[in-house]
């Protein structure tokens, strides 16, 4: 319904990968479907074994379980709609659906903070091993988990409510595969300067503060490892945090390239590819990294399969 030069938008159109040939879109559908199923299965297994296996009831696996919950949530918000646009060519998304998709992107904020919490956990385990059980007791780890989840809610509430209070005019085509803030903001026909400042400051704080905390934790960890006299001891200490370090690197590199590249080097197509890395690919890799690089998880998976199906599985 038109009001002057404004249009009250009832739905948006996700451009997704519509510029690609039909054959390529079908191939992408199969690829993303496999990745989606592997992500759900892998993270669900991590949650299952860390809940049921007594050997994995330490703080590290408690936080890993929270990470898997976040990864599942991340995928449920984005991937099903993306698969629908590729398979059924149903590119429309309601105004409310777009707002909800943007709001539930708080999973990404929570993941940034949770990764910093996991880095602190590794710092305490390596630098204060004798006091680790006391410092990271059940009450403390619960508080840290809540503190990791909480910041995303007010940030997502303010950003989504503010952005969708603007009037939209002209095209309703979102040049992305989900309702991310920058491509939706381009459809607004109003002065968005204050919102853009808020979004930039919020993104910098959400990404950089946890990143600095992770960096500080690992600098302290590296200093502690270097003081270990034996090579075997150094390797054992490093192995306890190598999986987390790899996950952090994958997540932050792709996230930083997506949101902190100069606009002149940030075409919509390149941003789609970079967004795929941290929204679709990284959630699939996380459980694989943690299982393949962690003997405790591999052994727990073997015990879980043995109890459930009577099968003895040896994961190399």
| pLDDT tens figures, 86-99 | 887 778 999 899 99
CA distance 316 to 303: 14
Instruction: Please return the burial class of 193, using the count of CB atoms within 10 Å of its CB with bins 0-12, 13-18 and 19+.
Output: exposed
Task: Specify whether the CB–CB gap between 126 and 221 falls below 8 A.
Answer: yes
CA distance 82 to 188: 23
pLDDT for res 2: 44
11-309: CATH, from 1.20.1740.10, 1.20.1070.10, 3.30.300.20, 1.10.10.10: 1.20.1070.10
- Can you read off the two tokens belonging to residue 158? 């303010």
CA distance 107 to 247: 16
Instruction: Please return the burial class of 110, using the count of CB atoms within 10 Å of its CB with bins 0-12, 13-18 and 19+.
Output: buried
- pLDDT tens-place string over residues 249-267: 888 887 777 777 666 556 6
Q: Which residues pair with 2 in a beta bridge?
A: 7
Residues of 139-164 as b/e, b for ≥16 C-beta within 10 angstroms? eebeebbeebbebbeebbeebbeebb
Block mean pLDDT (10 aa), the chain, length 316: 52 86 90 94 90 87 92 91 86 90 88 92 91 92 92 90 89 89 90 91 87 92 88 81 85 78 64 82 86 73 68 54
Per-domain residue ranges for the chain? Answer: 11-309
Separation in Å, CA 112 to CA 76, 194, 274: 18, 24, 17
DSSP code per residue over 230-262: SHHHHHHHHHHHHHHHHHHHHHHHHHHHHHSS-
Instruction: Please return the burial class of 93, using the count of CB atoms within 10 Å of its CB with bins 0-12, 13-18 and 19+.
Output: buried
Those residues whose C-beta lies under 8 Å from the C-beta of residue 17, and which sit 6 or more positions away, are 24, 25, 28, 85, 86, 177, 272
């Amino acid at each position: 319904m038109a009001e002057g030069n404004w249009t009250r938008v009832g739905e948006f159109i996700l451009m997704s990968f519509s510029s690609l040939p039909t054959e390529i879109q079908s191939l992408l559908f199969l690829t993303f479907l496999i990745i989606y199923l592997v992500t759900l299965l892998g993270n669900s297994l991590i949650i299952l074994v860390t809940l049921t296996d007594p050997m994995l009831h330490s703080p590290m696996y408690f936080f890993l379980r929270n990470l898997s919950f976040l990864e599942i949530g991340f995928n449920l918000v984005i991937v099903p709609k993306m698969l629908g646009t590729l398979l059924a060519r149903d590119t429309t998304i309601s105004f409310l659906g777009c707002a909800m998709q943007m709001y539930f992107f708080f999973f990404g904020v929570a993941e940034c903070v949770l990764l910093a919490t996991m880095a602190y956990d590794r710092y305490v385990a390596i630098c204060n091993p004798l006091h680790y059980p006391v410092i990271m007791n059940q009450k403390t780890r619960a508080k840290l988990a809540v503190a990791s989840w909480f910041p995303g809610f007010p940030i997502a509430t303010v950003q989504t409510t503010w952005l969708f209070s603007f009037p939209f005019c002209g095209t309703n085509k979102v040049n992305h595969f989900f309702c991310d803030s920058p491509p939706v903001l381009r459809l607004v026909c109003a002065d968005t300067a204050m919102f853009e400042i808020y979004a930039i400051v919020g993104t910098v704080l959400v990404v950089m503060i946890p990143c600095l905390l992770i960096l500080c934790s690992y600098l302290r960890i590296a200093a502690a490892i270097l003081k270990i006299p034996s090579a075997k001891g150094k390797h054992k200490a490093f192995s306890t945090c190598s999986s987390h370090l790899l996950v952090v690197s994958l997540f932050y590199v792709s996230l930083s390239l997506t949101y902190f590249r100069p606009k002149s080097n940030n075409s919509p197509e390149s941003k789609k590819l970079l967004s795929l890395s941290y929204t679709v690919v990284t959630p699939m890799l996380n459980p694989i990294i943690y299982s393949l690089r962690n003997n405790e998880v591999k052994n727990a998976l073997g015990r879980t399969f043995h109890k459930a199906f009577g099968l003895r599985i040896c994961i190399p």
